[in-house]
Chain A
Amino acid sequence: KQEVTQIPAALSVPEGENLVLNCSFTDSAIYNLQWFRQDPGKGLTSLLLIQSSQREQTSGRLNASLDKSSGRSTLYIAASQPGDSATYLCAGGTSYGKLTFGQGTILTVHP
């Protein structure tokens, strides 16, 4: 059974800082690893999807890495902005689409 853990549970940083969010998973037979963003009272928005054969994915100021052997993924956010404030969730995916989510990291970027 896949279990996903995210550290830290909450993070507060000043605007402009580079930051790293961590995600660990127990089952290395992961099909893909996905990062989502959730704004208060809203659904989830997909940020990055890394296939098991890939090491990293980039989109704008976001970079996500995947290390299956150690059971870890990181989300790197460069030059953080107040608009980046949200809850960030990682999820391990199976080949048939089932996602197992971590509990999320609440990010606050203050001006």
Chain B
Amino acid sequence: EAGVAQSPRYKIIEKRQSVAFWCNPISGHATLYWYQQILGQGPKLLIQFQNNGVVDDSQLPKDRFSAERLKGVDSTLKIQPAKLEDSAVYLCASNRDSQETQYFGPGTRLLVL
């Protein structure tokens, strides 16, 4: 069974630029999560999807971050415009049922200069 796929693995941009990350969850997993992990900290949930609907986006900075999962499968997370403090690893995770363990992708490491 293929794991959670994410791309790109690394991205360097300048502040005020835009960036997008892509995630393809494990086949059949209805729930998809995006986390932000700043160096030295644990991951923080940004947004949770159940199929193509949003379950929780209470910690998503909606003035600059957006995410979509249009067909209930893969998902895109966008930052526009980026700030220096957005430098972090962005992790995608999925599970078949929200009460089961989550499976994480390798993450996208973003550096904003």
**B residues within 8 A CB of A96?**
48, 55-56, 98
Contact B42 A95 (CB under 8 A): no
* Residue A34, interface by CB 8 Å: yes
**B residues within 8 A CB of A34?**
101
Interface residues of B (CB under 8 A from A): 4, 31, 33, 40-45, 48, 55-56, 91, 93, 95, 98-107, 109
- Interface class of chain A by DSSP: strand
List the count of A-B residue pairs having beta carbons below 8 Å apart: 62
Residue of B nearest to A97 (CB): B98
List the 9 closest pairs (A to B, CB-CB), nearest first: A101-B42, A97-B98, A43-B104, A44-B104, A46-B101, A43-B106, A103-B42, A49-B101, A101-B43
Contact A32 B91 (CB under 8 A): no
Contacts known (A43-B91, A43-B107); A98 close to B56, Cβ less than 8 A? yes
Measured CA separation A57–B56 after assembly (Å): 29
Contacts known (A43-B106, A98-B48); A104 close to B42, Cβ less than 8 A? yes
Best-surrounded residue of A4, A95, A99, A104 (most CB of chain B within 10 A) = A99
Would you give the shortest CB distance from B10 to chain A, in whole angstroms? 10
- Residues in A13-38 with C-beta less than 8 Å from chain B: 31-32, 34, 36
* Residue A61, interface by CB 8 Å: no
Contact B102 A43 (CB under 8 A): no
Given contacts A43-B104, A98-B56, 20 further A-B contacts (CB under 8 A): A31-B99, A43-B4, A43-B91, A43-B93, A43-B105, A43-B107, A44-B43, A44-B93, A49-B100, A49-B101, A91-B42, A96-B55, A97-B102, A99-B43, A99-B45, A100-B45, A101-B42, A103-B40, A104-B41, A104-B42
